Amino acid sequence: MTATVTSPLAFAGTPAPDNLVLSPVKRSGLADQMKAGLDAPICLTWELTYACNLQCIHCLSSSGRRDPRELTTSEAEAVIDELQRMQVFYINIGGGEPTIRSDFWHLVNYATDHGVGVKFSTNGSRIDAAVARELAASDYVDVQISIDGADAATNDAVRGEGSFDVAQQAMKHLHDAGFSGFKISVVMTRHNIGQVDELEAMARRFNAELRLTRFRPSGRGADSWHELHPTDAQQRQLYRWLLDRPEVLTGDSFFHLSALGEPLPGLNLCGAGRVVCLIDPIGDVYACPFVLHDEFRAGSVRDNGGFQRVWQDSELFAELREPQSAGACASCGHFDACQGGCMAAKFFTGIPLDGPDPECVLGHGEPLVNSASAARPSPALDHSRPTPVTFLHQNPDDTTLRR
Protein backbone atom coordinates (compact mmCIF):
# COMPACT_ATOMS: atom_id res chain seq x y z
CA MET A 1 0.00 0.00 0.00
CA THR A 2 1.49 3.31 -0.99
CA ALA A 3 1.08 6.56 0.89
CA THR A 4 -1.01 9.19 -0.89
CA VAL A 5 0.75 12.38 -1.82
CA THR A 6 -1.26 14.48 -4.24
CA SER A 7 1.72 16.33 -5.56
CA PRO A 8 5.01 14.55 -5.04
CA LEU A 9 6.79 17.84 -5.46
CA ALA A 10 4.66 19.95 -3.20
CA PHE A 11 6.66 19.01 -0.14
CA ALA A 12 9.98 18.81 -1.86
CA GLY A 13 9.98 22.47 -2.75
CA THR A 14 12.33 21.88 -5.64
CA PRO A 15 11.76 20.00 -8.87
CA ALA A 16 14.04 17.13 -7.93
CA PRO A 17 14.89 15.87 -4.44
CA ASP A 18 18.54 16.68 -4.79
CA ASN A 19 18.87 18.33 -1.42
CA LEU A 20 15.83 18.29 0.80
CA VAL A 21 16.13 21.02 3.41
CA LEU A 22 13.72 20.16 6.20
CA SER A 23 13.48 20.45 9.96
CA PRO A 24 14.47 17.23 11.78
CA VAL A 25 10.80 16.50 12.66
CA LYS A 26 9.57 17.01 9.11
CA ARG A 27 12.55 15.10 7.82
CA SER A 28 11.76 12.00 9.89
CA GLY A 29 8.02 12.10 9.01
CA LEU A 30 8.83 12.46 5.37
CA ALA A 31 11.42 9.70 5.52
CA ASP A 32 8.81 7.29 6.98
CA GLN A 33 6.37 8.22 4.24
CA MET A 34 9.03 7.71 1.60
CA LYS A 35 10.06 4.34 3.01
CA ALA A 36 6.48 3.12 2.56
CA GLY A 37 6.50 4.31 -1.04
CA LEU A 38 4.56 7.08 -2.79
CA ASP A 39 1.81 6.96 -5.40
CA ALA A 40 4.28 8.28 -7.95
CA PRO A 41 8.07 8.43 -7.97
CA ILE A 42 9.67 11.74 -7.01
CA CYS A 43 12.82 10.97 -8.87
CA LEU A 44 12.19 9.13 -12.11
CA THR A 45 15.16 8.64 -14.40
CA TRP A 46 14.44 7.73 -17.99
CA GLU A 47 17.33 6.57 -20.11
CA LEU A 48 16.10 7.26 -23.62
CA THR A 49 18.88 5.46 -25.46
CA TYR A 50 22.00 3.39 -24.90
CA ALA A 51 23.61 5.11 -27.90
CA CYS A 52 26.48 7.38 -26.94
CA ASN A 53 29.28 9.19 -28.71
CA LEU A 54 31.51 8.66 -25.66
CA GLN A 55 32.59 5.51 -23.86
CA CYS A 56 33.21 6.64 -20.26
CA ILE A 57 34.99 4.00 -18.25
CA HIS A 58 32.55 4.28 -15.32
CA CYS A 59 29.29 4.41 -17.33
CA LEU A 60 26.57 3.01 -15.06
CA SER A 61 24.57 1.69 -18.03
CA SER A 62 27.52 0.40 -20.12
CA SER A 63 26.27 2.58 -22.97
CA GLY A 64 27.66 2.87 -26.47
CA ARG A 65 25.43 1.14 -29.02
CA ARG A 66 21.74 1.79 -29.57
CA ASP A 67 19.43 -1.07 -28.61
CA PRO A 68 17.23 -1.91 -31.63
CA ARG A 69 14.31 -2.56 -29.27
CA GLU A 70 14.26 1.09 -28.09
CA LEU A 71 10.82 2.57 -27.36
CA THR A 72 9.37 4.22 -30.44
CA THR A 73 8.32 7.86 -30.44
CA SER A 74 4.66 6.97 -29.99
CA GLU A 75 5.47 4.54 -27.16
CA ALA A 76 7.53 7.25 -25.45
CA GLU A 77 4.65 9.72 -25.86
CA ALA A 78 2.29 7.20 -24.27
CA VAL A 79 4.64 6.91 -21.27
CA ILE A 80 4.64 10.70 -20.90
CA ASP A 81 0.82 10.73 -21.06
CA GLU A 82 0.81 8.21 -18.24
CA LEU A 83 3.30 10.20 -16.17
CA GLN A 84 1.09 13.24 -16.57
CA ARG A 85 -1.91 11.26 -15.32
CA MET A 86 0.15 10.08 -12.33
CA GLN A 87 1.20 13.68 -11.59
CA VAL A 88 4.88 13.01 -12.07
CA PHE A 89 5.87 16.61 -12.54
CA TYR A 90 9.54 16.12 -13.34
CA ILE A 91 11.69 13.50 -15.04
CA ASN A 92 15.44 13.12 -15.34
CA ILE A 93 16.33 12.11 -18.87
CA GLY A 94 19.65 10.43 -19.47
CA GLY A 95 21.24 7.70 -21.50
CA GLY A 96 23.59 7.03 -23.24
CA GLU A 97 23.63 10.49 -24.74
CA PRO A 98 19.92 11.26 -24.97
CA THR A 99 20.27 14.08 -27.52
CA ILE A 100 21.43 11.48 -30.06
CA ARG A 101 17.85 10.26 -30.45
CA SER A 102 16.42 12.00 -33.50
CA ASP A 103 13.13 12.63 -31.64
CA PHE A 104 14.84 13.94 -28.47
CA TRP A 105 13.73 17.55 -28.77
CA HIS A 106 10.26 16.47 -29.83
CA LEU A 107 9.95 14.33 -26.67
CA VAL A 108 11.24 17.16 -24.47
CA ASN A 109 8.62 19.47 -25.96
CA TYR A 110 5.95 16.78 -25.69
CA ALA A 111 6.74 16.31 -21.99
CA THR A 112 6.71 20.01 -21.11
CA ASP A 113 3.53 20.55 -23.14
CA HIS A 114 1.95 17.84 -20.97
CA GLY A 115 3.00 19.35 -17.66
CA VAL A 116 6.00 17.08 -17.13
CA GLY A 117 9.17 19.11 -16.56
CA VAL A 118 12.48 17.77 -17.85
CA LYS A 119 16.02 17.76 -16.56
CA PHE A 120 18.33 16.08 -19.00
CA SER A 121 21.92 14.95 -18.63
CA THR A 122 24.28 15.41 -21.53
CA ASN A 123 27.97 15.39 -22.35
CA GLY A 124 27.33 18.77 -24.01
CA SER A 125 28.25 17.76 -27.54
CA ARG A 126 24.97 19.00 -28.98
CA ILE A 127 24.56 22.17 -26.93
CA ASP A 128 25.54 24.88 -29.36
CA ALA A 129 24.75 28.60 -29.03
CA ALA A 130 21.31 28.31 -30.65
CA VAL A 131 20.26 25.34 -28.52
CA ALA A 132 21.51 27.11 -25.40
CA ARG A 133 19.32 30.12 -26.21
CA GLU A 134 16.27 27.89 -26.67
CA LEU A 135 16.99 26.12 -23.39
CA ALA A 136 17.48 29.37 -21.52
CA ALA A 137 14.04 30.50 -22.69
CA SER A 138 12.25 27.50 -21.19
CA ASP A 139 11.00 27.47 -17.60
CA TYR A 140 10.44 23.72 -17.64
CA VAL A 141 13.73 22.34 -18.90
CA ASP A 142 16.88 22.01 -16.85
CA VAL A 143 20.24 20.81 -18.12
CA GLN A 144 22.99 18.86 -16.46
CA ILE A 145 26.41 18.79 -18.09
CA SER A 146 28.55 15.85 -17.02
CA ILE A 147 32.28 16.16 -16.47
CA ASP A 148 34.67 14.13 -14.37
CA GLY A 149 37.47 16.51 -13.52
CA ALA A 150 38.39 20.17 -13.22
CA ASP A 151 40.90 19.88 -16.05
CA ALA A 152 41.15 18.06 -19.36
CA ALA A 153 43.73 15.56 -18.20
CA THR A 154 41.63 14.31 -15.27
CA ASN A 155 38.33 14.40 -17.14
CA ASP A 156 39.48 12.92 -20.44
CA ALA A 157 41.13 9.95 -18.73
CA VAL A 158 37.61 8.85 -17.77
CA ARG A 159 35.37 10.30 -20.50
CA GLY A 160 37.59 10.30 -23.58
CA GLU A 161 39.89 12.68 -25.38
CA GLY A 162 38.41 16.08 -26.17
CA SER A 163 35.34 15.62 -23.98
CA PHE A 164 36.41 18.24 -21.43
CA ASP A 165 36.71 20.99 -24.03
CA VAL A 166 33.34 20.12 -25.53
CA ALA A 167 31.66 20.18 -22.11
CA GLN A 168 33.28 23.54 -21.32
CA GLN A 169 32.05 24.93 -24.63
CA ALA A 170 28.50 23.81 -23.82
CA MET A 171 28.74 25.48 -20.39
CA LYS A 172 29.95 28.67 -22.04
CA HIS A 173 27.02 28.62 -24.48
CA LEU A 174 24.54 28.15 -21.63
CA HIS A 175 26.17 30.91 -19.60
CA ASP A 176 26.26 33.31 -22.56
CA ALA A 177 22.60 32.56 -23.23
CA GLY A 178 21.76 33.61 -19.66
CA PHE A 179 20.83 30.12 -18.44
CA SER A 180 21.55 30.43 -14.74
CA GLY A 181 21.48 27.46 -12.43
CA PHE A 182 22.15 24.70 -14.91
CA LYS A 183 23.89 21.78 -13.26
CA ILE A 184 27.50 20.66 -13.55
CA SER A 185 27.47 17.02 -12.53
CA VAL A 186 30.59 15.23 -11.39
CA VAL A 187 31.03 11.62 -10.30
CA MET A 188 33.49 11.65 -7.39
CA THR A 189 36.54 9.48 -8.04
CA ARG A 190 39.91 9.02 -6.43
CA HIS A 191 41.39 11.30 -9.12
CA ASN A 192 39.01 14.26 -8.97
CA ILE A 193 37.94 14.39 -5.33
CA GLY A 194 40.87 16.67 -4.58
CA GLN A 195 39.53 19.12 -7.17
CA VAL A 196 36.23 19.97 -5.46
CA ASP A 197 37.33 23.59 -4.84
CA GLU A 198 38.16 24.05 -8.52
CA LEU A 199 34.87 22.43 -9.51
CA GLU A 200 33.01 24.76 -7.17
CA ALA A 201 34.83 27.73 -8.74
CA MET A 202 33.92 26.45 -12.21
CA ALA A 203 30.24 26.32 -11.26
CA ARG A 204 30.47 29.85 -9.89
CA ARG A 205 32.17 31.07 -13.08
CA PHE A 206 29.33 29.72 -15.24
CA ASN A 207 26.59 30.76 -12.81
CA ALA A 208 25.75 27.07 -12.52
CA GLU A 209 25.08 24.72 -9.62
CA LEU A 210 27.51 21.98 -8.66
CA ARG A 211 26.16 18.46 -8.31
CA LEU A 212 28.43 15.78 -6.91
CA THR A 213 27.45 12.14 -7.17
CA ARG A 214 28.83 8.97 -5.78
CA PHE A 215 30.77 6.57 -7.97
CA ARG A 216 28.92 3.24 -7.86
CA PRO A 217 30.23 -0.04 -9.20
CA SER A 218 27.43 -0.33 -11.79
CA GLY A 219 27.83 -1.01 -15.50
CA ARG A 220 31.41 -0.40 -16.63
CA GLY A 221 31.92 1.12 -13.17
CA ALA A 222 32.14 -2.44 -11.84
CA ASP A 223 35.38 -2.93 -13.76
CA SER A 224 36.88 0.47 -12.88
CA TRP A 225 35.73 0.41 -9.22
CA HIS A 226 39.01 -0.64 -7.65
CA GLU A 227 40.94 1.99 -9.54
CA LEU A 228 38.47 4.87 -9.20
CA HIS A 229 36.55 4.68 -5.96
CA PRO A 230 37.68 7.21 -3.31
CA THR A 231 39.93 6.22 -0.44
CA ASP A 232 38.67 6.33 3.14
CA ALA A 233 40.65 9.51 3.85
CA GLN A 234 39.16 11.15 0.74
CA GLN A 235 35.63 10.22 1.83
CA ARG A 236 36.22 11.90 5.17
CA GLN A 237 37.54 15.05 3.49
CA LEU A 238 34.54 15.11 1.19
CA TYR A 239 32.16 14.71 4.13
CA ARG A 240 33.61 17.76 5.89
CA TRP A 241 33.64 19.74 2.63
CA LEU A 242 29.97 18.94 1.97
CA LEU A 243 28.92 19.77 5.54
CA ASP A 244 30.20 23.30 4.95
CA ARG A 245 28.36 23.55 1.63
CA PRO A 246 24.69 22.56 1.91
CA GLU A 247 24.08 24.29 -1.42
CA VAL A 248 26.07 21.64 -3.30
CA LEU A 249 23.59 19.12 -4.73
CA THR A 250 24.15 15.47 -3.91
CA GLY A 251 20.77 13.65 -4.08
CA ASP A 252 21.08 10.37 -2.20
CA SER A 253 24.75 9.96 -3.01
CA PHE A 254 26.55 10.25 0.26
CA PHE A 255 24.21 9.25 3.09
CA HIS A 256 26.62 6.45 4.01
CA LEU A 257 29.00 9.25 5.09
CA SER A 258 26.44 10.49 7.63
CA ALA A 259 27.79 7.75 9.92
CA LEU A 260 30.68 10.17 10.49
CA GLY A 261 28.48 12.55 12.50
CA GLU A 262 26.01 15.22 11.51
CA PRO A 263 23.78 14.04 8.63
CA LEU A 264 24.49 15.56 5.24
CA PRO A 265 21.72 17.40 3.39
CA GLY A 266 20.02 15.32 0.72
CA LEU A 267 17.99 12.16 0.68
CA ASN A 268 19.19 10.12 3.65
CA LEU A 269 17.83 6.77 2.63
CA CYS A 270 17.90 4.35 -0.24
CA GLY A 271 14.88 5.38 -2.29
CA ALA A 272 15.05 2.44 -4.72
CA GLY A 273 11.50 1.43 -5.66
CA ARG A 274 10.14 3.76 -2.98
CA VAL A 275 10.67 7.24 -4.42
CA VAL A 276 13.20 6.47 -7.15
CA CYS A 277 13.10 4.27 -10.24
CA LEU A 278 14.45 4.00 -13.75
CA ILE A 279 12.87 3.37 -17.13
CA ASP A 280 15.48 2.02 -19.53
CA PRO A 281 15.55 2.59 -23.31
CA ILE A 282 13.47 -0.53 -24.06
CA GLY A 283 10.88 0.33 -21.41
CA ASP A 284 12.05 -1.99 -18.64
CA VAL A 285 11.56 -0.53 -15.16
CA TYR A 286 14.28 -0.97 -12.53
CA ALA A 287 14.37 0.00 -8.86
CA CYS A 288 16.99 2.69 -9.44
CA PRO A 289 19.43 3.82 -12.16
CA PHE A 290 22.31 1.93 -10.56
CA VAL A 291 20.78 -1.55 -10.42
CA LEU A 292 20.43 -2.58 -14.06
CA HIS A 293 20.18 -6.28 -13.33
CA ASP A 294 17.36 -8.83 -13.64
CA GLU A 295 17.08 -9.04 -9.84
CA PHE A 296 15.92 -5.42 -9.72
CA ARG A 297 13.73 -5.40 -12.84
CA ALA A 298 10.17 -4.72 -11.72
CA GLY A 299 8.41 -4.94 -15.10
CA SER A 300 8.05 -3.02 -18.34
CA VAL A 301 6.06 -0.02 -19.51
CA ARG A 302 5.12 -2.30 -22.42
CA ASP A 303 3.28 -4.69 -20.04
CA ASN A 304 -0.48 -4.45 -19.50
CA GLY A 305 -1.17 -1.59 -17.13
CA GLY A 306 1.98 0.24 -18.24
CA PHE A 307 4.28 2.12 -15.90
CA GLN A 308 1.60 2.87 -13.31
CA ARG A 309 0.94 -0.81 -12.71
CA VAL A 310 4.64 -1.54 -12.37
CA TRP A 311 5.15 1.30 -9.92
CA GLN A 312 2.08 0.56 -7.80
CA ASP A 313 1.75 -3.23 -8.00
CA SER A 314 5.08 -4.90 -8.74
CA GLU A 315 6.18 -7.51 -6.23
CA LEU A 316 9.73 -6.20 -6.22
CA PHE A 317 8.72 -2.66 -5.31
CA ALA A 318 6.32 -3.95 -2.64
CA GLU A 319 9.24 -5.89 -1.14
CA LEU A 320 11.56 -2.87 -1.23
CA ARG A 321 8.89 -0.81 0.57
CA GLU A 322 8.77 -3.23 3.47
CA PRO A 323 11.02 -2.43 6.47
CA GLN A 324 14.47 -3.73 5.56
CA SER A 325 16.59 -5.87 7.83
CA ALA A 326 19.64 -4.14 9.29
CA GLY A 327 21.47 -7.47 9.09
CA ALA A 328 25.15 -7.19 9.85
CA CYS A 329 24.74 -3.45 10.57
CA ALA A 330 22.16 -4.03 13.35
CA SER A 331 24.69 -3.60 16.12
CA CYS A 332 26.23 -0.47 14.62
CA GLY A 333 25.39 2.70 16.50
CA HIS A 334 25.37 4.64 13.23
CA PHE A 335 22.70 2.65 11.43
CA ASP A 336 20.01 5.34 11.79
CA ALA A 337 22.27 7.80 9.99
CA CYS A 338 23.85 5.51 7.44
CA GLN A 339 21.09 2.92 6.87
CA GLY A 340 23.72 0.41 5.82
CA GLY A 341 24.51 2.41 2.69
CA CYS A 342 23.71 1.87 -0.97
CA MET A 343 22.02 -1.32 -2.18
CA ALA A 344 23.55 -1.05 -5.66
CA ALA A 345 27.07 -0.60 -4.30
CA LYS A 346 26.63 -3.69 -2.14
CA PHE A 347 25.07 -5.80 -4.87
CA PHE A 348 27.70 -5.17 -7.52
CA THR A 349 30.58 -5.69 -5.12
CA GLY A 350 29.15 -9.06 -4.05
CA ILE A 351 28.17 -7.96 -0.51
CA PRO A 352 24.81 -9.24 0.84
CA LEU A 353 22.10 -6.56 0.71
CA ASP A 354 21.84 -6.56 4.51
CA GLY A 355 25.61 -6.23 4.85
CA PRO A 356 27.61 -3.01 5.22
CA ASP A 357 28.26 -0.63 2.36
CA PRO A 358 31.54 -1.43 0.53
CA GLU A 359 32.72 2.06 1.51
CA CYS A 360 31.50 1.81 5.13
CA VAL A 361 33.35 4.56 6.98
CA LEU A 362 34.07 2.15 9.84
CA GLY A 363 35.93 -0.11 7.44
CA HIS A 364 33.50 -3.05 7.64
CA GLY A 365 32.87 -3.21 3.91
CA GLU A 366 36.33 -3.44 2.44
CA PRO A 367 37.27 -6.94 3.68
CA LEU A 368 33.96 -8.22 2.31
CA VAL A 369 34.61 -6.66 -1.11
CA ASN A 370 37.96 -8.35 -1.25
CA SER A 371 36.62 -11.73 -0.20
CA ALA A 372 33.47 -11.49 -2.34
CA SER A 373 35.07 -10.44 -5.60
CA ALA A 374 34.72 -13.90 -7.17
CA ALA A 375 30.96 -13.84 -6.56
CA ARG A 376 30.39 -10.39 -8.00
CA PRO A 377 27.25 -10.39 -10.21
CA SER A 378 27.77 -9.21 -13.76
CA PRO A 379 25.71 -6.32 -15.09
CA ALA A 380 22.80 -7.77 -17.09
CA LEU A 381 23.27 -5.53 -20.12
CA ASP A 382 26.29 -4.30 -21.98
CA HIS A 383 25.97 -1.95 -24.93
CA SER A 384 29.64 -1.01 -24.97
CA ARG A 385 31.22 -0.67 -28.36
CA PRO A 386 33.89 -3.27 -29.07
CA THR A 387 36.63 -0.66 -29.35
CA PRO A 388 37.13 2.54 -27.39
CA VAL A 389 36.16 5.69 -29.26
CA THR A 390 38.00 8.93 -29.83
CA PHE A 391 35.73 11.85 -29.15
CA LEU A 392 34.15 13.38 -32.24
CA HIS A 393 32.07 16.52 -32.08
CA GLN A 394 28.80 15.89 -33.87
CA ASN A 395 26.68 18.67 -35.25
CA PRO A 396 23.04 18.56 -34.24
CA ASP A 397 20.51 17.48 -36.86
CA ASP A 398 17.40 18.80 -35.26
CA THR A 399 17.86 20.81 -32.12
CA THR A 400 14.80 23.00 -32.24
CA LEU A 401 13.35 23.29 -28.78
CA ARG A 402 10.01 24.96 -29.14
CA ARG A 403 9.29 27.63 -26.55
- 285 DSSP assignment: E
Judged by CB under 6 A, which stretch of 53-61, 86-94, 240-248, 334-342 contacts ligand SF4?
334-342
Does the N-terminal peptide bond of residue 96 adopt cis geometry, omega within 30 degrees of 0?
A: yes
Residue 299's identity, in one-letter code, is G
Binding ligand SF4 by CB under 6 A: which of 34, 248, 288, 351?
288
H/E stretch holding 95 reads: strand 90-95
Considering the rule CB under 6 A, would residue 348 count as an interface residue with ligand SF4?
A: no
Residue 217's identity, in one-letter code, is P
Considering the rule CB under 6 A, would residue 174 count as an interface residue with ligand SF4?
A: no
Which residues, other chains included, contact 336 with Cβ-Cβ below 8 Å and sequence gap of 6+? none
Which residues, other chains included, contact 392 with Cβ-Cβ below 8 Å and sequence gap of 6+? 53
Nearest Cα to Cα of residue 275 among 27, 28, 34 = 34
Binding ligand SF4 by CB under 6 A: which of 332, 353, 372, 380?
332
Considering the rule CB under 6 A, would residue 167 count as an interface residue with ligand SF4?
A: no
Size of the site for ligand SF4 (CB under 6 A): 26
Binding ligand SF4 by CB under 6 A: which of 27, 334, 376, 393?
334
Considering the rule CB under 6 A, would residue 338 count as an interface residue with ligand SF4?
A: yes
Residues 39 and 5: their CA atoms lie apart, in Å, by 7
Judged by CB under 6 A, which stretch of 9-17, 172-180, 271-279, 315-323 contacts ligand SF4?
271-279
Nearest Cα to Cα of residue 64 among 219, 218, 200 = 219
Binding ligand SF4 by CB under 6 A: which of 271, 283, 350, 379?
271
Judged by CB under 6 A, which stretch of 18-26, 67-75, 101-109, 328-336 contacts ligand SF4?
328-336
Least separation in angstroms between CB 31 and ligand SF4: 13
CB-CB contact of 81 with 91 (8 Å): no
- 153 DSSP assignment: H
Residues 214 and 271: their CA atoms lie apart, in Å, by 15
Judged by CB under 6 A, which stretch of 99-107, 135-143, 332-340, 366-374 contacts ligand SF4?
332-340
Considering the rule CB under 6 A, would residue 357 count as an interface residue with ligand SF4?
A: yes
Binding ligand SF4 by CB under 6 A: which of 222, 264, 343, 351?
343
Residues 48 and 93: their CA atoms lie apart, in Å, by 7
Judged by CB under 6 A, which stretch of 147-155, 237-245, 297-305, 333-341 contacts ligand SF4?
333-341
CB-CB contact of 60 with 274 (8 Å): no
Helix-strand-coil split of the chain, %, nearest 5: 35, 15, 50
Considering the rule CB under 6 A, would residue 285 count as an interface residue with ligand SF4?
A: no
Mask for 239-268, x = binds ligand SF4 (CB under 6 A): -------------x------x---------
Least separation in angstroms between CB 358 and ligand SF4: 9
Residues 261 and 250: their CA atoms lie apart, in Å, by 17
Nearest Cα to Cα of residue 223 among 21, 45, 59, 47 = 59
Considering the rule CB under 6 A, would residue 341 count as an interface residue with ligand SF4?
A: yes
Binding ligand SF4 by CB under 6 A: which of 71, 208, 361, 368?
361
Pick the closer one to ligand SF4 by CB: 70 or 252.
252
Considering the rule CB under 6 A, would residue 51 count as an interface residue with ligand SF4?
A: no
Site for ligand SF4 in 180-209 (CB under 6 A): none
Distance between terminal CA atoms of the chain? 39
Considering the rule CB under 6 A, would residue 290 count as an interface residue with ligand SF4?
A: yes
